[in-house]
Amino acid sequence: MNFLKIAAVLCLLWLSGCANVPPGPAQAIDSDENALQLAPSRELKPAANTVPASSRSNRSAAAPTPALVRAPDVGHFALDSELPSSRAIASLSAPKDLWERIRRGYAMPDLDNDLVHDREQWYAARPDYILRMTERSRKYLFHIVEELELRGMPTELALLPFVESAFNPQAVSVAKAAGMWQFMPATGRTYELKQNVFRDDRRDVLASTRAALGYLQRLYAMFGDWQLALAAYNWGEGSVGKAIAKNQRSGLNTGYLDLSMPMETRLYVPKLQAIKNIVSDPERFNSSLPLIENHPYFQSVTIRRDIDVSLAAKLAEVSLDDFKALNPSVNKPVILAAGTSQILLPWDNAETFQSNLESYAGGRLASWTVWVAPSTMRAADAAKKVGMGEAEFRSINNIPPRMLIRPGSALLVPRSAHTEQDVTSKVADNGQVSLAPEIVLRKTLVRAGKGATVANIAQKYKVSVANVAQWNNVRPNASFKPKQQVVLFLPQAPVRARPAAATRKRAKKR
């Protein structure tokens, strides 16, 4: 009996101690629902080396460097008293879908003006367009939201590809910006987006998202304002910096709405705000958002051998269109493992691919390889050398008519049955096709002057002595009579196009 009394007392003391443990820094108590809640990730702030406001406008449009901002801690729990009063506390309950998760992470100041209302009406009048865009986004949106949260960035930035490309990773602008995030070639190279004849990482889902978010972080660190950062993403950081400097010299405000900028950039943030408003309350705008579950759509699968795109899709048991939608950076019918070491597959198909690949008994995985041109060649001669028809050779290597292939060009050709070696990393990572205009020679008759010889005519018209002799059926040391007609084949002068009417340059300078 004494033992039982002692045990009861000890239990009471233990329970009392547990009840008096104060909530730690990783907990918060909601007084209304008595529920544990999670503080939203804190708003991204400029790093210590951010340019001060007084000198931001003097920043040049130098080549961007990787993100200058250290992303704030993600998943930080805090007491209510530790949280900014202006920020809502996100519930620990899982979002019912990805749209709800995006709404919970909104952290940018809202814009409310006539341009926003105009864009709202534009989108609301096109519910089918919104549905197509959002259906297309379901493959990529989860990954983008995950990356934003890991960096502590506002989740409405996940909606930016709606503005940029309507979530089409194959989109190309008239200014040659490409991919979901619409990177210009130079900016893409700055952010390590490989662009060669076999792949364009500006279209790659993982690589382009990494680069875009890094670029946006850098722009926010530079300007200290998300609206200005977005303007710089569209217009160029140098242009925004100059506009700020101009306003500073005139004693004017330097916010997004205060700057003079092209209409495309003026509409850029209102477009994003309009889409944000529609996502927040689709019914208000006569819109319907497709259900996008709050879980990954795809996963990465490592490949170790070159493999045809069509075969990879077949082994994964997905349609060719779906495979290309997840792997849009591959622009040839073969994936070179040395350059593209992983592919993306729908979550449930990744294991299927691995299983089918291990049991594949169809022989070689790749029916294409790369041949490097040893010298300057005509397309017809190169095609004959590798055993292809000229039309197919030109088509698969994008060689237009009247162009010569320069030495070192990496060209896709059929893989022989005896070729076991895959394409090397040097070729897969750096392969380019270099072309030169094919010189068209035109028969020309000239009259020989006094003392004209094969040699001095060849020198005058910059052709070889042997050619002049052959064209005129004479010996290389022959002379011509005065006023004798001499046959030459000279390069035809290119036809100069008439100058076109001046066109307005686009504002986009990414």
User: No. of H helices and E strands in the chain?
Assistant: 19, 13
Q: Which residues contact 74 (CB under 8 A, 6 or more apart)?
A: 41, 149, 150, 151, 152
Is-contact 349 298, C-beta < 8 A? no
Asked if 164 is an active-site residue, the reply is: yes
- Which one from 100, 164, 283, 358 is the annotated catalytic residue? 164
- Alpha helices by DSSP H, listed for 303-378, are 309-316, 320-326, 350-358
DSSP 135-149: HHHTTTHHHHHHHHH
SS3 80: helix
- Residue 205: closest CA among 123, 273, 296: 296
Q: Which amino acid is at 351?
A: E
Strand partners, 344: 300
d(CA 198, CA 182): 19
Distances (CA, A) of 27 to 73, 82, 259: 16, 11, 43
Give me the residue label for tokens 């010189």. Answer: 439
DSSP H stretches of helix in 327-412 = 350-358, 379-386, 390-397
Residue with tokens 């897969």, as numbered in its chain: 428
Known catalytic residues are: 164
